[in-house]
Amino acid sequence: MNERSHDEIKELIAAYALGALPDDEIRIVRAHILECDECMAEADDYLEAASSLALSVKPVEAPTGFEERVISRARGSIGDSLVRPLPSLRRRLAPAFAIGILSLLSLALVAVTFATRSDLESTERIATALLRSDGIELAGEAGAVGKLVETQEGATLVAAGLPEVRADRTFQLWFLEEGADPVSAGTFDASGDLSVLETGVTFEGFAGAAVTIEPAGGSDQPTSDPVISSG
Amino acid sequence: MASDPEVDLVEGLLARDEGALRRVMAIHAGAVYGMARRVLGESTMAEEVAQDTFLALWRRPGAYDPERGPLKAFLLGVARNKAIDAVRKEQGVRRTKEELVAGFESELAVGVADSTFQRAAEATEVRKSLGMISAVQREAIVLAYFGGRTYREVAEELGIPEGTAKTRLRDGLKRLKEVLDTDGRR
């Protein structure tokens, strides 16, 4: 049933951009546009047009007490995020910060950019974590490698040699367990040779891990083959 | 591209600054609640969806990428997706075709009141663009985008073949993109 022609899938792209596809067809379209430049460009155009629809909506004054109710819930929710990806925003705004942990990993990596003090502390924690010997090693084609290490803060992934991806694509880490769907552990960008993802969740109980390339924002389930995996 | 004040706001959220969350809500709560109401009508679920939208930003501020557009567009997208999820889980909150289309058309005809001239002008421009696609295309798009219908449900509800529904959605979006590009919005 998944054997759809290019033309058949092309007909579904507008519905995809509007969020008007059934789940099974969403996966088919996503998998196709990752491979097809023409359909990718068309999807980008339609997504832009679809997002403009939202701007036509008339603002409505929120109910009395709305803000306080949100704040109350926010106070109760700090730290309960499923994933805590290293925000790309901070790296983008940051000066480059070179860190020489090449020898620790035997990876062909050079630099990673971090900004704030907490990021620097984070870097130290990552470097320390990398020294531990009980990490899960991941590998892929063309020398792409990664190491997943369990820390007190949750599992941290460091990867190097990942392929370049489009600006509207992201890497996504998955925890794997036999007989169950992969569980997302967060998304990350590979802005330098070294990529770091602090998941904030434990790897315990899982049998393996893999990284795939997904549309920006990540996917509910993998839509492409792993670029690195624990094999 | 987001404006610098928005980057500051997101930096505040990343730093777990509650004040930043308050400022985001002061600017965008009306739009976000408006989106929830558009999809869900005057239900209590509309407020729940609006709350969840800001909580999602609070919990994962890194999910918003300023390079991909303004914060408002991101929040409206999140609100719309959450509202559509609610509609699909609970058919009882699903708005009728007539409610959806009438609400949309009335907003096209009237103005959009917003708190700043820039945002009001932006909304006006989008509404003008929407007015330039055909009524049947708008109807299909409204049912899909604001009504949470799949293209198959659009076809069924409008009594047209699925192929026709797909064509209306595609041609409508294509035309909308052309008009927006012509008007210099990218």
Q: Give one DSSP letter per residue of A170-189, joined into a string.
A: EEEEEEE-TTS--EEEEEE-
In a shared domain, residues B133 and B150: yes
How confident is the model over B167-180, as pLDDT tens digits? 999 999 999 898 88
In a shared domain, residues B104 and B141: yes
Chain B: residue nearest A170 by CA? Answer: B63
pLDDT of A170 strictly over 70: yes
How big is chain B, counted in residues?
A: 186
How confident is the model over A87-101, as pLDDT tens digits? 333 333 222 222 322
Whole-number pLDDT of residue B59: 83
Domain end marker among B73, B94, B115? B94
**Tokens 């620097």 — which residue?**
A120
Chain A: residue nearest B125 by CA? Answer: A56
Whole-number pLDDT of residue A110: 25
pLDDT of A83 strictly over 50: no
In a shared domain, residues B19 and B30: yes
Whole-number pLDDT of residue B36: 95
Residue B18 sits in a domain whose CATH number is 1.10.1740.10
The number of CA neighbours under 13 Å toward the Cβ of B56 is 20
| Tokens standing for residue A128 | 């320390």
Whole-number pLDDT of residue A134: 64
* Residue-averaged pLDDT of chain B: 84
* Burial class, B89, CB count within 10 angstroms (exposed 0-12 / middle 13-18 / buried 19+): exposed
Q: Which of A136-150, A160-174, A212-226, B137-151 reaches the highest mean pLDDT? A: B137-151
In a shared domain, residues B56 and B113: no
In a shared domain, residues B100 and B68: no
The rounded distance, in Å, linking the Cα atoms of B27 and B50 is 13
Shortest CA gap B1–chain A (Å): 13
Shortest CA gap B92–chain A (Å): 19
**Tokens 């679809």 — which residue?**
A50
In a shared domain, residues B86 and B102: no
Which of A137, A197, A144 is CA-nearest to residue A172?
A197
pLDDT of B23 strictly over 70: yes
Q: Which of A95-109, A173-187, B41-55 reaches the highest mean pLDDT? A: B41-55
pLDDT of B24 strictly over 50: yes
In a shared domain, residues B23 and B51: yes
Whole-number pLDDT of residue A81: 33
Residue B142 sits in a domain whose CATH number is 1.10.10.10
Residues in contact with A116: Cβ distance below 8 Å, sequence separation at least 6, in sequence order: A90, A94
What's the ipTM? 0.84
Shortest CA gap A46–chain B (Å): 6
Are A63 and B173 inside 8 Å of each other by CB?
no
Q: Which of A73-77, B87-91, B153-157 reaches the highest mean pLDDT? A: B153-157
In a shared domain, residues B72 and B122: no
Count of structural domains, chain B: 2
Are B174 and A46 inside 8 Å of each other by CB?
yes
Rg (CA), chain B: 17
Question: Among B16, B27, B59, B146, which would you mutate to test the A interface (most chain A Cβ atoms within 10 Å of its Cβ)?
Answer: B59
In this structure, of A35-44, A160-169, A199-208, the range with the lowest mean pLDDT score is: A160-169
Contacts of A22 in chain B (CB under 8 A): 150, 152
Whole-number pLDDT of residue B183: 67
In a shared domain, residues B104 and B55: no
Average pLDDT for B114-127: 59
Which of B40, B165, B13 is CA-nearest to residue A20?
B165
Domain end marker among B39, B69, B94? B94
Whole-number pLDDT of residue B30: 95
Domain containing B16: what range?
1-94
The pTM is what? 0.60
The rounded distance, in Å, linking the Cα atoms of B51 and A155 is 30
In a shared domain, residues B146 and B178: yes
The more confidently predicted of residues A79 and A172 is A172
Hey, what's the torsion of the CAs at B36, B37, B43, B45, to 10 degrees?
Answer: 0
8 Å CB contact between A17 and B173: yes
